[in-house]
Structure formats: structure tokens, C-alpha cells
Amino acid sequence: MEDEGNEIIRLRSSDDKVFEVTEPAAKISELVEASPREEDEEIEIHIARIRYPCLQKVVEFMKHCDEENMKNNPTLGRRHF
């Protein structure tokens, strides 16, 4: 397994495109946080209702928030995706 906190989470769109996101970036999503997982298990979450173009934008936003350390920004609030 990779360094603690740097695990890769795979998000699969409804049209079977896969995006890889670090766990800290993905945790902005309550869906990711609530997903059951076991230690030493690769994490892949199928997002059944989201197609590639939309999920691509969500992943870009997750990465942006992580890079800019916006998770604790009160104006951002919690996102339900």
C-alpha cells in the first residue's frame, strides 16, 4: 500500500471511464468518505449515475480543492457528490 493518506481511489463513471484521485483529494466528496473499505484493499467506487464528462469536472474540482487546501474553507461548504 502507498504512504498513509496518499492511497489512490478509482472513480468509475457510468460509461466505464476510470479516474484516479488521491484519497485526500477525493475526501471532499461525502460519497467517497461514506464508502465502505477495508485495509489493504484497492478502492474503486462506481458512480452509476455520472457520465465521463461530468465526472471529469468533479475530479478536476477535487484535485483543485486539495492543491489549494480548500477543504476547510467555510465558503466552500460541504458538497454532496
Q: What is the pLDDT of residues 11-67, one digit of tens each?
A: 999 999 999 999 889 888 888 888 877 776 788 999 989 999 999 999 999 998 888
pLDDT band at 6 (very low <50, low <70, confident <90, very high): confident
The pLDDT value given to residue 60: 95
Residue 7 contacts residue 22 (beta carbons within 8 Å)? yes
